[in-house]
Structure 1
Amino acid sequence: MLDDYILIVDDDRDIRNLLGIYLENEGYKFIKCDNANTALEVLKEYRVALILLDVMMPGMDGIEACMRIRQSGKMPIIFMSAKVEDMDIVQGLMAGGDDYITKPFNPIQLISRVKAQLRRYKQYNGNDFSENMLQYEDLILNTNTKQTWVNGKEIRLTSKEYEILELLLRNKGNVLSIPQIYENVWREEFCHSENTVMMHIANLRNKLKNDEESDSYIKNVWGRGYKI
């Protein structure tokens, strides 16, 4: 993946140069463009692994550029903007963006986002994502290899933890009771096995957290069960 380029698209020269310094320090090759039209031409000539795309640019803005890129390109697109309103973020992601970072940049956070998106792209590029993958936000399962990733980082699960997670993802949005989870995963009749299920889910929730402050993807619906 380091043989491919990261494409920086921003009309602000200082930002382009700053991003170039960050990427160069990590060993990435990059190309800088000051407008979206030039970026579209670059994509015809170079192998691009990831795009850092400014939202607000004169002429074609980042949202329109993203929609054009998505007609044929699958590489990750990280939007960059000083705007932090929820609707702007949603609009960018709905246009085909993979992530969104606000200016001014935290260098460590920016590079970590770039690395996470590149890992994910490398893992899934060329695979049939729709058939083999289950996804919710940054949580992804490969049902063929039984692998799990959170925010691009592989998470090691026991076989029962994986089966519980797959069951919840296949029933995304629905609450599953403890007896339902037990009978589907352990494949035997439920008989006062609440603690077994609860222990496995507690371990699973802890493993799936991005950090100590974040919430788990698995929600406890009081008196009813669990859901994603």
Structure 2
Amino acid sequence: MKYILTIDDDEALCKLVKKCIETAQVPVYTFLRGEDALSFFYQNQNDCVLVILDIMLPGMDGYSVLEKVRAVSNVPVLMLTAKDQEEDKVTGLQNGADDYLTKPFGLAELTARVNSLVRRYTKFNPRHEENQRLLFQDMTIDPSAHSVEVQGKLVSLTAREFDILLFLAQHKGRIFTKQQIYQNIWKEPYYQDDGNIMSIISKLRKKIEPDSEHPFYVLTVYGVGYRFNEKA
């Protein structure tokens, strides 16, 4: 059965999150320590649809847990932090988190973000055309399996990396600004770019491009934005 994993040393908060977002179809498992959560996750990672992860944890901190999760899975990760500081948010996103919430947060906002990340990852009620495999030179993108193969080898991407690649590939040759990419992927207003999209695309290129310094698939249109190579 699919499940959501919550890791936070605040037991009361874990119980509240569990009560707020748990459904009959998607149970929530909570852990107070990163080491215990990882032990459970490694045994059940294929069924996990979301990790809710606090930065400040006893023992192994949230960034270390995130690194371990990202080494084996592209499951969405929602970071929680009590620090309302830009560098904490940027660090989490640059290290593979897909979204973040600053404590204290409203339960309605938590529920909305959880639903958005889970829906995007599991592709609930996908339209037929959105679910078709995309075939390019040495690359196959399978939206239903949430997978990418390059030269016949499976590539591990974060949820955001996959979403951006799929979005650009589905609009092959069309140029998108960072604002357009952000609004289509994050589904929220765009205020000011802090380098997150550039960072995600840089990491994406290192995983999919034959030469990340001279990309073939995801191209930069200088002064404008990005596009997927129409010759791919």
Instruction: Settle same-fold status: TM greater than 0.5.
Output: yes
1:40 is aligned to 38
TM-score (norm 1): 0.60
Deviation (angstroms), 1:32: 0.6
DSSP 3-state at the match of 2:56: coil
Deviation (angstroms), 1:45: 2.5
Give the aligned residue type for 2:148. D
Matches within 5 A, 1:48-63: 48-63=48-63
CA distance change for structure 1 residues 74 and 22 in 2, over 3 Å: closer, same or farther?
A: same
Q: Which has the higher contact order (CA 8 A, sep 6+)?
A: 2
DSSP 3-state at the match of 1:63: helix
Matches within 5 A, 1:1-228: 3-24=1-22, 28-46=26-44, 47-123=47-123, 124=143, 125-128=145-148, 141-142=166-167, 146=170, 166-169=173-176, 210=187, 214=190, 227-228=224-225
Two-structure CA RMSD over aligned residues (Å) = 3.6
TM-score (norm 2): 0.59
Looking at structure 2, the residues matched to 143 and 38 of structure 1 have their Cα atoms a distance apart, in angstroms, of 38
Looking at structure 2, the residues matched to 29 and 54 of structure 1 have their Cα atoms a distance apart, in angstroms, of 19
Deviation (angstroms), 1:23: 1.0
1:195 is aligned to none
Looking at structure 2, the residues matched to 5 and 17 of structure 1 have their Cα atoms a distance apart, in angstroms, of 15
2:211 is aligned to none
DSSP 3-state at the match of 1:78: strand
2:229 is aligned to none
Q: Deviations for 1:44-77, whole angstroms, at most 9, x for unmatched residues?
A: 2322111000000111000011001111111101
Give the aligned residue type for 1:22. C
Q: Is this contact kept in 1: 2:66–2:95, CA < 8 A?
A: yes
Looking at structure 2, the residues matched to 78 and 58 of structure 1 have their Cα atoms a distance apart, in angstroms, of 18
Give the aligned residue type for 1:227. V
Deviation (angstroms), 1:128: 1.6
Deviation (angstroms), 1:8: 0.6
Q: Which segments of 5 or more consecutive residues in structure 1 lack a partner in the other structure?
A: 147-161, 174-203, 218-225
Q: What is the number of residues matched between the two proteins? A: 165
CA distance change for structure 1 residues 138 and 215 in 2, over 3 Å: closer, same or farther?
A: farther
DSSP 3-state at the match of 2:175: helix
Looking at structure 1, the residues matched to 106 and 9 of structure 2 have their Cα atoms a distance apart, in angstroms, of 19
Identity of aligned residues (%): 26
- Which structure: larger Rg? 1
Q: Which segments of 5 or more consecutive residues in structure 2 lack a partner in the other structure?
A: 124-142, 152-159, 194-222, 226-232
CA distance change for structure 1 residues 32 and 65 in 2, over 3 Å: closer, same or farther?
A: same
DSSP 3-state at the match of 1:128: strand
CA distance change for structure 1 residues 139 and 94 in 2, over 3 Å: closer, same or farther?
A: closer
